Amino acid sequence: MISIKNVSKTYHNGTHALYDINLEIQDSEFVYIVGPTGSGKSTLIKLLDGEEIPSKGEVIVQGIDVGKLKHSKVPLYRRNIGVVFQDYRLLPRKTAFENVAYALEVVDAPKDELRKRVREVLKLVDISDKSNAFPSELSGGQQQRVAIARAIANRPKILIADEPTGNLDPKKSDEIIRLLEKINREEKTTILIVTHDIEIVRHHPKRMIAIDNGHVVADLAEGGN
Amino acid sequence: MFHRFFRHIKEGFIGVGRHFGMAISSASAVMITLVLIAVFVILTWNIQTVTSTIESSISIVASIDYEAESESSRSNIETAIKAIPGIDTVEFRDKDEEFTYYAEMQGEEERDFYEQYRSSNPFHDVFLVSVEDGLDIQEITSQIATINGVYGVYDGGTNTYTLVSLFANIRIFGGALVIALCLLATYLVYNTIKITIASRKDEIWIMRNVGAKNGYIRAPFLVEGVIIGGLGSLIPIILTIVLYYLMYDNLGGSLFGAFTLVEPFPFILYVALGLFVTGIGVGFIGSYISVCKYLRLRR
Ligand SMILES: Nc1ncnc2c1ncn2[C@@H]1O[C@H](COP(=O)(O)OP(=O)(O)OP(=O)(O)O)[C@@H](O)[C@H]1O
Ligand SMILES: [Mg+2]
């Protein structure tokens, strides 16, 4: 469970990004976070994965007070969370398979189990046939699938995607959201999607948290009430 | 575990290869540093041996007043001398022994000439005082002179002071130079690793993102730093060993025929080991600071 209590965030340069946020997200939930540019959505994600520390209040994820984590404990905590970005961030000199395997290697997964798991997630994101392709040989949608595969390889409890469809056409965007729904169903992963794309929210209705100017302005359960 | 260990080693070598020019230039900096360290260590070590020979031969001679020759005042003086800080040993020699000592320093004929004066012995009872540090000798001499019952004090005089403090200055100056050079070499390794880190920023970002521990991220860069340091120590080690042996053989083991040189074995192997450890240490510390600084900025 994610529990955000009275959280405010002011950056070092004095920018107020979030004001007194209160949110609870249950395990296996599927949630959209929407809001205009500069409203504080990415900041909220950075507080969740431990990149930033709240200026006030506390962020509790799976019982861990994320803001109070010591620098050296952040990596272990972060294995609970997979993050996917708009720009994929794959290693250009590694194949799709190697990119996913990399995420498992750096956390010291045993080698035989590693190969099995890589094949499994590549299959889950439906890109098995491109295992040996380099990122430059893949389309945007395919690269995003590899990025998602990498993010879930470690079986994180929570998958966060910051604008995962930002660079994709509507059809490809739709496929990615359907993939995330499948991961939510099959791996019981909590999914948080930051998006500008209201079409997506309309076609795949879920709980939607709207942020504006650092405030939560709406928190609508699936179906819109 | 082993698999992981070798991966770090491999990544380290790849890192050196990727920025070969940088690696070579900072390895050269390490090399120059180590050559200078070697020269300095060999020089001071040899001087040190000479200095300790001089220092151990320096003693202060404090002669006792004729009026203070009684058992009790003698022991008072001895206590007073021993109370001065920096005193190593105090040895008593009565005037008879002093007479014999000086008589024996003369040739056969003069000795007989001296012997006739033994009954009216003009010498004083003396304390022979040795000090712990040659640099204190002047200070201690003047302190002994103020003790009641001390007739006169003699040490080697200005020449000894100058020699001892010259050697001490060489040591201090050389030591400071070595430390400064080590810092410079560390800084160059630090910069090289900073550039390698910059070129692998994306990879580090991903590693952090999927939860790689700091130690895991650090490892290949530390290996890289150690490789640079190790490379830099290779040539100085060979140079030191070969040149010292050559010098020792050609000079016949002594300098100006006056100072004996330290025997090459095992001395030069210790120096070589020291160079190796310093090279690797400089590489390790330089890269360690570099990665830690980078990692600390990000959570
Ligand atoms: N590292 C930072 N240092 C200082 N200010 C920052 C930093 N990151 C973000 N901000 C500021 O905080 C505010 C919220 O930024 P944030 O990135 O959370 O917005 P966002 O909702 O993700 O916007 P977008 O939709 O454009 O990605 C903005 O005013 C931004 O300029
Ligand atoms: Mg953003």
Q: How far is the CA of A47 from the centre of ligand 1 (A)?
A: 12
Instruction: For residue A10, give every residue at least 6 positions away whose Cβ sits within 8 Å of its Cβ, in sequence order, or none.
Output: A16, A17, A55
Specify the amino acid at residue A179. Answer: L
Task: State residue A100's pLDDT score.
Answer: 96
**Is the beta carbon of A14 within 6 A of some atom in ligand 1?**
no
Question: How near does any CA of chain A get to the CA of B229, in Å?
Answer: 26
Whether A24 contacts A4, CB under 8 Å: yes
Are A83 and B209 an interchain contact pair (Cβ–Cβ within 8 Å)?
A: yes
**Is the beta carbon of A38 within 6 A of some atom in ligand 1?**
yes
**Is the beta carbon of A43 within 6 A of some atom in ligand 1?**
yes
Whether B54 contacts B126, CB under 8 Å: no
Task: State residue B258's pLDDT score.
Answer: 56
List chain A pLDDT tens, one digit each, 225 residues.
Answer: 999 999 999 999 999 999 999 999 999 999 999 999 999 999 999 999 999 999 999 999 999 999 999 998 999 999 999 999 888 889 998 999 999 999 998 888 888 899 999 999 999 999 999 999 999 999 999 999 999 999 999 999 999 999 999 888 999 899 999 999 999 999 899 999 999 888 899 999 999 999 999 999 999 987 655
- Cβ contacts below 8 Å, chain A against chain B, sum to 57
Given ligand 1 and candidates A33, A42, A49, A196, which is best to mutate, with the most ligand atoms within 8 Å of its CB?
A42
Whether A82 contacts A100, CB under 8 Å: no
| Distance (Å, whole) CA A102 – CA A91 | 9
Partner residue opposite A51 with nearest CB, options B3, B212, B299: B299
Question: How near does any CA of chain B get to the CA of A225, in Å?
Answer: 35
B124-159, pLDDT tens digit by residue? 888 888 888 777 888 888 888 888 888 888 876 666
| Distance (Å, whole) CA B17 – CA B247 | 37
| pLDDT > 60? residue B257 | no
**Is the beta carbon of A11 within 6 A of some atom in ligand 1?**
yes
Tokens of A94: 């590694």
For ligand 1, what atom is nearest to the CA of residue A211? 21
Are A75 and B206 an interchain contact pair (Cβ–Cβ within 8 Å)?
A: no
Residues of B in contact with A117 (CB under 8 A): none
Q: pTM of this prediction?
A: 0.74
Ligand closest to CA A214: 1
Angle subtended by helix axes B2-18 and B214-251, to nearest 10: 70
Residues of B in contact with A84 (CB under 8 A): none
Listed by start position, the domains of chain A span: 30-43+80-220
Are A83 and B216 an interchain contact pair (Cβ–Cβ within 8 Å)?
A: no
Looking at per-residue pLDDT, the higher value among A133 and B121 belongs to: A133
Task: State residue B178's pLDDT score.
Answer: 84
* Mutation for B interface: A106, A143, A160, most B CBs within 10 A: A106
| Distance (Å, whole) CA A66 – CA A78 | 10
Q: How far is the CA of A118 from the centre of ligand 1 (A)?
A: 34
Tell me which range, A97-111, A146-160, B42-56, B160-174, is most confidently predicted by mean pLDDT.
A146-160
Are B214 and A83 an interchain contact pair (Cβ–Cβ within 8 Å)?
A: no
Give the alpha-carbon dihedral of B267, B268, B271, B277, to 10 degrees: -110
Instruction: For residue B121, give every residue at least 6 positions away whose Cβ sits within 8 Å of its Cβ, in sequence order, or none.
Output: B95, B96, B99
Whether A207 contacts A31, CB under 8 Å: yes
Q: What rounded mean pLDDT belongs to chain B?
A: 84
Task: State residue A139's pLDDT score.
Answer: 93
Largest Cα–Cα separation, chain A = 49
B210-228, pLDDT tens digit by residue? 888 899 999 999 999 999 9
Task: State residue B259's pLDDT score.
Answer: 65
Question: How near does any CA of chain A get to the CA of B6, in Å?
Answer: 13
Tokens of B143: 């302190």
When computed from its CA atoms, the radius of gyration of chain B, rounded to whole angstroms, is 30
Task: State residue B1's pLDDT score.
Answer: 61
Question: How near does any CA of chain A get to the CA of B296, in Å?
Answer: 8
Task: State residue B99's pLDDT score.
Answer: 83
Which residue of B lies nearest to A82 if distances are taken between CA atoms?
B210
Task: State residue B55's pLDDT score.
Answer: 62
Are B209 and A111 an interchain contact pair (Cβ–Cβ within 8 Å)?
A: no
User: DSSP class of residue B263?
Assistant: P
Task: State residue B160's pLDDT score.
Answer: 66
Torsion sign, CA atoms B148, B149, B152, B157? negative
Upstream peptide bond of A36 is cis (omega within 30 degrees of 0)? no
**Is the beta carbon of A37 within 6 A of some atom in ligand 1?**
yes
Listed by start position, the domains of chain B span: 2-54+163-294, 59-155
Q: What is the 3-state secondary structure (H, E, C) of chain A?
A: CEEEEEEEEECCCCCEEEEEEEEEECCCCEEEEECCCCCCHHHHHHHHCCCCCCCEEEEEECCEEHHHCCHHHHHHHHCCEEEEECCCCCCCCCCHHHHHHHHHHCCCCCHHHHHHHHHHHHHHCCCHHHCCCCHHHCCHHHHHHHHHHHHHHCCCCEEEEECCCCCCCHHHHHHHHHHHHHHHHHCCCEEEEEECCHHHHHHCCCEEEEEECCEEEEEECCCCC
ipTM: 0.84
Mean pLDDT score, B34-54? 80
CATH for A30-43+80-220 is 3.40.50.300
Residues of A in contact with B292 (CB under 8 A): none
φ, ψ at B126 (rounded to 5°) = -135, 155
User: How is domain B59-155 classified at the CATH fold level?
Assistant: Alpha-Beta Plaits (3.30.70)
Residue nearest to atom 22 of ligand 1 (CA): A42
Task: State residue B60's pLDDT score.
Answer: 83
Mean pLDDT score, B72-93? 87
